[in-house]
C-alpha cells in the first residue's frame, strides 16, 4: 500500500516558501548585522546565490529518483547504503532540532515572559495538533501548509512594501568598515534561513508528476525566498541602521515599530507567529516520510514503513516522530541557543554530501534520465563543499565554544551507527555474517555479559538432554551453548553463518561429538533431532517464523526445543515478533507445547521460549 498523491504545484510552492524561510528571516538579520554591520547584505547576497545552486542540485536529484527518502535516497544511489543511512540519520536529527527551534522561537517571540509550565503546555499542544493533522492524511496537511505559506508571504511583504519608503541611505555608511572574516562569520550564521530543500523531497511520493513538478518548484521557491530575504534585510538595515539591528534580539519587531503605529504591532506579531509555527508544521508533516523510506529499505525498524489503511499516511513513523520532537523541544526550552548552534554544522555536513551525490552520479550514471539538469554539475558540488568547509573553519576559528557544538554534532552523527548495526543484524544475513566474522576476536567477552552461566543453564536444562540425545545448536556463534550441550548429549550438530565465530566455537568445545557446519540454510530431514537450541539467533532473521517451523519439523515427536532471544535493548526497539507474548506465539506451529517467559535484565528483555513437539 503506497502513499496518496495529492500535492499539486501551487501547494508545493507555498509549502517550500514556508518550509525554507523559517525563523531565520525574523531573527538572523540581527546576528548578521552584529558581526558584519551593513556589509551583512553581502553575506545575504552570497548565500542567496549559493542557495539557488543547491536548489538546482536537489532538483536534478529528485528528477532522477522521485522517492520519499529524499537526501537518504540520493546519497544511497551515489555512495551506498551505510553513508546514506548516516545522511538520513543526520537529516532526521536536523528535522527534530528545526521543529524544536521553531516551536521555541515562536514562544519566545509571542510570549517572551511566559513561565515554564505554559511553555511546556503550549509546545506539546502545538506538536500534537500538527502531528494529528499529518496522521489524518496529506489532504488535511497540505491545506494547512498552503494557509501558512500564504501568511508567510504576507508577513514579509507587509514589512518590505511600506518599509522601502522609510529607508535611509545614510544607514548603509560606511559600507566597507568590516573585514572579510566578519562577512564570512555573518554568512555562516544567516545560512539557516535558506535551509529546508529536503522538505519537498520527503513528500515526493505524494506529489503529482513529481519528477517534473518538484524540480521547478524547488528552484522557483528558492529564487523567490532569496529575493524576499534580501529585500527584507535591505529594508531592515535601511530603516534601523546596522548598529540598532545588531543590538536587538528581534529586529523584525523593531522595524515594524518604526513603520507602523503601535496599534498594528499586535497584528504584526501574530503575522510573524503564524509562519513560525507554520514552518514547524512543514517539518512535522514531511520528516516522518524520511523514516518511512528508510524503514522500507530495512535500515530502520519495519513498523515505520506501515501505511494507515484509511488515511494513507506512515502512521507509526508519525507517532514516533511526535514523541521524539516533544522530547527535543523540552530540551530546547532549557537551552535554545545551544540547540540552534548544533543545527548549523550538521546541516552543512548533510548538504555537502547531497550535492556531492550530483557530481558522483554524473560520473557513474552519465546516461540516466534527468528531467532537470543543474548547471556545473561536475565542479559545482565541490565548490559548494569547499564553501561549507570555509564557513565551518571561520566559525570554529572566530566563535567561542564552536568546537564543543561541532563535537556534539559529530556525537549525534556517530550515535546512529549502533542503531544501523542493530537493524542490519535483524534483516540482512550477509551483513550479519561479515559483522560476526570481524568482531569474533572480542565477541566472547562482550556476549558473556548478557549470556552468562545463569542463562546458559536455563536454556540447556529445558532441552531434556540425555547421553543418547542428538541435538542441534542453531546459530552456535562462538560456542557457549554448544559446549554445554555437547557435555550432556551423544552428538551435537552446530550450525552458524560466521566462519570467524565457528573457529572460536571449535576451540572452546573440545569434544569429538560435535559436528560444525557453516551454512545459511536448514537442510536436515524431518525428525532428525531429539533437541534443538537457538540463542541470540531469531532476532537476526528477517522472517523468523520460517526457520522456527523448520526447526520444529526437524525434531522427533516428543523432541524438545529451547530458544533465547533478546528483545528491546537500551533505547533500541525489539523486533516485531518480540513485541509481546502473543506475537511470540505466532512464530510456532500448532503441534507444540510452548512456554514463554520474559525477563528484564541489564537493560535488555530476555525472551525464553521452550517446549515439546507433540
pLDDT greater than 80 at residue 482? yes
> pLDDT value at position 601?
84
Boundary-marking domain end, from 375, 401, 424: 424
92 shares its domain with 22: yes
Residue scoring higher pLDDT (263 or 73)? 73
364 shares its domain with 455: no
**Strand (E) positions, 267-375?**
none
| Rounded Cα–Cα distance for residues 205 and 214 (Å) | 11
> Is residue 326 a part of any domain in this protein?
yes
pLDDT greater than 80 at residue 96? yes
Per-residue confidence at 470, pLDDT binned at 50, 70, 90?
Answer: very high
589 shares its domain with 513: yes
Residue scoring higher pLDDT (534 or 414)? 534
Is 288 in contact with 307 (CB distance < 8 Å)?
no
- pLDDT averaged over the chain? 88
Query: What would the pLDDT profile of 273-321 be if each residue is shown by its tens digit?
Result: 888 888 888 889 889 999 999 998 888 888 888 898 888 889 999 999 9
| Rounded Cα–Cα distance for residues 314 and 207 (Å) | 15
Per-residue confidence at 441, pLDDT binned at 50, 70, 90?
Answer: low
Per-residue confidence at 596, pLDDT binned at 50, 70, 90?
Answer: very high
488 shares its domain with 341: no
CATH number, domain at 249?
A: 1.20.1740.10
> Is residue 2 a part of any domain in this protein?
no
> pLDDT value at position 22?
60
> Is residue 45 a part of any domain in this protein?
yes
62 shares its domain with 114: yes
346 shares its domain with 438: no
35 shares its domain with 158: yes
Boundary-marking domain end, from 409, 424, 439: 424
Q: pLDDT > 70: what percent of the chain?
A: 97
CA angle 383, 387, 392 (to 5 degrees): 150
pLDDT greater than 90 at residue 11? no
> pLDDT value at position 533?
96
Q: pLDDT > 90: what percent of the chain?
A: 42
> pLDDT value at position 423?
81
> Is residue 452 a part of any domain in this protein?
yes
510 shares its domain with 583: yes
Per-residue confidence at 502, pLDDT binned at 50, 70, 90?
Answer: confident
293 shares its domain with 376: yes
**Distance separating the N- and C-terminal Cα atoms of the chain:** 39
Can you give the pTM of this predicted structure? 0.84
469 shares its domain with 377: no
Task: Work out the number of other CB atoms within 10 angstroms of the CB of residue 481.
Answer: 29
Boundary-marking domain end, from 424, 445, 478: 424
> pLDDT value at position 23?
62
> pLDDT value at position 523?
84
Indicate the number of domains in the chain.
Answer: 2
CATH number, domain at 488?
A: 3.40.50.150
281 shares its domain with 252: yes
Strand partners, 562: 533, 610
pLDDT greater than 70 at residue 515? yes
| Rounded Cα–Cα distance for residues 288 and 252 (Å) | 32
Domain region containing 531:
431-613
Q: What are phi and psi of 477, to 5 degrees?
A: 60, -135
> Is residue 609 a part of any domain in this protein?
yes
Mean of pLDDT values over 89-108: 86
pLDDT greater than 90 at residue 41? yes
> Is residue 331 a part of any domain in this protein?
yes
279 shares its domain with 369: yes
> Is residue 4 a part of any domain in this protein?
no
Per-residue confidence at 111, pLDDT binned at 50, 70, 90?
Answer: confident
Radius of gyration of the CA atoms of the chain, in A? 29
Amino acid at each position: 500500500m503506497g502513499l496518496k498523491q495529492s500535492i499539486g504545484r501551487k501547494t508545493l510552492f507555498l509549502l517550500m516558501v514556508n518550509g525554507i524561510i523559517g525563523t531565520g528571516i525574523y531573527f538572523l538579520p540581527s546576528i548578521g548585522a552584529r558581526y558584519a554591520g551593513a556589509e551583512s547584505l553581502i553575506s545575504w547576497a552570497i548565500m542567496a546565490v549559493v542557495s539557488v545552486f543547491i536548489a538546482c542540485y536537489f532538483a536534478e536529484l529528485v528528477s532522477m529518483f522521485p522517492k520519499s527518502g529524499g537526501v537518504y535516497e540520493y546519497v544511497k544511489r551515489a555512495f551506498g547504503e551505510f553513508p546514506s543511512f548516516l545522511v538520513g540519520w543526520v537529516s532526521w536529527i536536523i528535522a527534530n532540532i528545526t521543529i524544536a527551534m521553531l516551536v521555541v522561537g515562536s514562544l519566545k517571540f509571542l510570549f517572551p515572559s511566559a513561565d515554564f509550565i505554559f511553555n511546556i503546555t503550549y509546545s506539546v499542544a502545538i506538536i500534537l495538533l500538527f502531528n494529528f493533522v499529518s496522521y489524518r492524511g496529506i489532504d488535511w496537511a497540505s491545506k494547512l501548509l498552503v494557509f501558512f505559506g500564504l501568511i508567510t508571504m504576507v508577513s514579509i511583504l507587509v514589512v518590505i512594501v511600506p518599509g522601502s519608503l522609510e529607508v535611509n541611505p545614510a544607514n548603509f555608511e560606511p559600507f566597507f568598515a568590516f573585514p572579510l572574516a566578519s562577512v564570512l562569520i555573518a554568512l555562516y550564521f544567516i545560512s539557516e534561513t535558506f535551509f529546508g530543500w529536503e522538505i519537498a523531497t520527503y513528500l515526493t511520493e505524494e506529489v503529482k508528476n513529481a519528477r517534473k513538478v518538484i524540480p521547478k518548484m524547488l528552484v522557483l521557491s528558492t529564487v523567490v525566498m532569496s529575493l524576499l530575504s534580501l529585500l527584507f534585510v535591505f529594508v531592515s538595515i535601511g530603516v534601523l541602521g546596522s548598529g540598532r539591528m545588531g543590538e536587538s534580539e528581534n529586529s523584525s519587531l523593531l522595524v515594524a515599530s518604526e513603520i507602523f503605529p503601535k496599534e498594528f504591532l499586535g497584528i504584526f506579531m501574530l503575522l510573524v507567529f503564524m509562519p513560525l509555527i507554520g514552518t514547524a508544521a512543514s517539518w512535522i508533516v514531511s520528516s516522518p516520510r524520511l523514516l518511512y523510506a528508510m524503514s522500507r529499505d530495512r535500515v530502520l525498524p519495519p513498523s515505520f514503513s506501515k501505511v494507515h489503511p484509511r488515511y494513507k499516511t506512515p502512521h507509526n513513523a508519525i507517532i514516533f516522530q511526535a514523541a521524539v520532537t516533544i522530547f527535543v523541544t523540552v530540551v530546547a526550552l532549557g537551552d535554545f541557543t545551544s540547540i540552534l548552534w548544533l543545527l548549523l554544522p550538521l546541516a552543512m555536513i548533510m548538504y555537502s554530501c547531497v550535492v556531492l551525490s550530483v557530481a558522483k552520479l554524473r560520473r557513474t550514471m552519465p546516461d540516466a534520465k534527468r528531467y532537470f539538469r543543474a548547471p556545473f554539475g561536475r565542479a559545482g558540488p565541490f565548490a559548494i563543499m569547499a564553501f561549507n568547509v570555509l564557513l565551518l573553519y571561520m566559525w570554529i576559528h572566530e566563535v567561542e565554544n564552536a568546537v564543543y557544538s561541532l563535537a556534539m554534532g559529530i556525537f549525534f552523527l556517530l550515535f546512529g551507527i549502533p542503531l544501523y548495526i542493530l537493524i542490519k543484524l535483524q534483516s540482512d544475513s550477509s551483513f550479519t555474517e561479515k559483522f560476526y566474522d570481524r568482531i569474533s576476536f572480542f565477541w566472547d567477552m562482550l556476549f558473556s555479559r548478557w549470556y552468562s552461566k545463569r542463562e546458559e543453564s536455563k536454556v540447556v536444562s529445558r532441552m531434556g538432554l540425555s547421553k543418547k540425545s542428538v541435538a542441534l545448536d542453531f546459530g552456535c556463534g562462538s560456542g557457549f551453548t554448544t559446549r554445554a550441550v555437547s557435555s550432556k548429549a551423544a552428538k551435537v550438530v552446530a550450525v552458524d553463518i560466521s566462519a570467524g565465530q565457528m573457529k572460536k566455537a571449535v576451540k572452546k568445545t573440545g569434544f569429538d561429538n560435535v559436528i560444525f557446519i557453516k551454512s545459511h540454510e536448514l537442510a536436515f530431514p524431518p525428525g532428525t533431532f531429539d533437541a534443538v537450541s537457538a540463542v541470540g539467533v531469531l532476532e537476526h532473521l528477517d522472517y523468523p517464523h520460517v526457520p522456527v517451523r523448520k526447526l520444529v519439523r526437524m525434531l522427533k515427536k516428543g523432541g524438545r526445543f529451547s530458544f533465547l532471544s533478546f528483545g528491546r535493548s537500551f533505547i533500541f526497539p525489539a523486533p516485531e515478533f518480540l513485541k509481546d507474548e502473543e506475537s511470540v506465539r505466532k512464530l510456532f506451529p500448532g503441534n507444540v507445547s510452548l512456554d514463554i517467559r520474559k525477563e528484564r535484565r541489564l537493560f535488555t528483555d530476555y525472551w525464553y521460549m521452550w517446549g515439546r513437539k507433540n
